[in-house]
Structure 1
């Protein structure tokens, strides 16, 4: 692996600030997308869940239909047995046989009553499930329409920004090669620890960018001399002077214009 070319502190500071501008631009693009990818994922989960629920409800209806058919078959069988036993009663030889057949008829009549009761209960269940199916279908239609809309929004944003984002990420990696590993690691560590992702900031009105803590005049002079990398004692951010920051902003604006 080739060693990185020795660069001056000023060149490092410029490269660091350029890297910050590139990464901040990527952050802006991702902020535009915001919560949309998560919203789309949640809606996709909702739609999948509702489809699964509909499948289970329809399977349940089929099972109940089979149960009703089974009970109807049982009724027909019981009716056939009643007819058979009634016919046999005409040819009995004694009361014991007659009473035995009467009990069989009564048992089959009870079987029919029980089966009819179950059929009624199953029909009530069918109506209840059909209501739930209608509600679920309405909800699914609503969620699917919402998902389509959100996907459209996301795809539009991705279409507008994907190319630029990829190009910026490649540039970020390229600029990192201009800075020694120690500084790159420090940059990423600071960037991960601060809320807005700003690891390198310019001095603004005597304070570090985005901070209310004043930088002592002597330190401001050192920063402006660009002889060493100086960090803000309060936030840990790397500091650059306003003139350098302005020059790099102009330079990077031209780069961003080409990439967008």
Structure 2
């Protein structure tokens, strides 16, 4: 690992504030995207779920159709048996044989009746499933259109900002390499612990930027002297004086305009 050169406190403060400006710019770009990537992912999942549901519903219709065919075949078989038994009744030798055949005919008639009842139930199920399929298709179309719209939004934002974001991320890593590890660790920890990601802030009208707690005049003088790194006792943020902040902002604006 390359040893980082010895730098003054002021140089460290400038490098830290530059790093903050870069990371804040990255945050701004990501805020522009907002929840769009998550929305697109959720919509993709929903569309996939609806497609799976349609496949299952269509498959269940095929099963019901096969069940209806099976019941119709059963009816035909029962009718054939009824015809057969009716013919046999004409040639019976006694009442016992006749009654036995009559029971067989009655059984087959019940089979036909039950099969016809099942077919009616299956047809009701088909109509119900067709309604659900129609509703699901309508929902799927609406969700696909919404997904297309959101993807278009996201693609437009990515096309506009991705190149700049990647360049800024690379710059952020470059600047971290120029700052000693303990300060980078402290900076990262502070950024993670504050809502707006501001780990290094300037004194604005006598108060800490981002938290607005007043800084005592003596501490303001120390900060302006740039002899040591001072943190805000309320928020833990690293503090820099307004003049230094303005100088670095001007410098970084020129950098951002080139990206």
Task: Give the TM-score, by structure 1 length.
Answer: 0.99
1:29 matched residue in structure 2:
29
* 1-structure distance, mates of 2:56, 2:168: 47
* 2-structure distance, mates of 1:43, 1:182: 42
In structure 2, the residue corresponding to 1:70 is in which secondary structure? helix
* 2-structure distance, mates of 1:155, 1:229: 42
Any residues of structure 2 matched to 1:164-183 within 5 Å, and which?
A: 164-183=164-183
1:72, CA displacement in angstroms? 0.2
* 1-structure distance, mates of 2:121, 2:197: 63
2:17 matched residue in structure 1:
17
Q: Is the aligned partner of 1:239 residue 2:239?
A: yes
1:162 matched residue in structure 2:
162
Q: Is the aligned partner of 1:225 residue 2:242?
A: no
Q: Is the aligned partner of 1:205 residue 2:205?
A: yes
In structure 2, the residue corresponding to 1:234 is in which secondary structure? coil
2:123 matched residue in structure 1:
123
1:76, CA displacement in angstroms? 0.4
1:212, CA displacement in angstroms? 2.4
Structure 1 residues without counterparts, runs of 5 or longer: none
In structure 1, the residue corresponding to 2:27 is in which secondary structure? helix
Aligned residues between the structures: 259
* 2-structure distance, mates of 1:2, 1:116: 86
* 1-structure distance, mates of 2:18, 2:49: 46
Q: CA RMSD in A?
A: 0.5
1:108 matched residue in structure 2:
108
1:71 matched residue in structure 2:
71
* 2-structure distance, mates of 1:236, 1:122: 70
Any residues of structure 2 matched to 1:90-105 within 5 Å, and which?
A: 90-105=90-105
Structure 2 residues without counterparts, runs of 5 or longer: none
1:213, CA displacement in angstroms? 1.2
In structure 2, the residue corresponding to 1:173 is in which secondary structure? helix
1:156, CA displacement in angstroms? 0.4
In structure 2, the residue corresponding to 1:93 is in which secondary structure? coil
Greater shift in the superposed pair: 234-243 or 203-212: 203-212
1:193, CA displacement in angstroms? 0.4
* 2-structure distance, mates of 1:253, 1:74: 83
In structure 1, the residue corresponding to 2:203 is in which secondary structure? strand
1:7, CA displacement in angstroms? 0.6
Q: Return structure 1 stretches of 4+ with deviation > 6 angstroms.
A: none
Task: Give the TM-score, by structure 2 length.
Answer: 0.99
Q: Per-residue CA shift, 1:148-190, capped at 9, x if unaligned?
A: 0000000000010000000000000000011100000000000
1:251 matched residue in structure 2:
251
1:140 matched residue in structure 2:
140
* 2-structure distance, mates of 1:160, 1:59: 44
2:89 matched residue in structure 1:
89
1:2, CA displacement in angstroms? 1.8
In structure 1, the residue corresponding to 2:201 is in which secondary structure? strand
* 1-structure distance, mates of 2:122, 2:258: 69
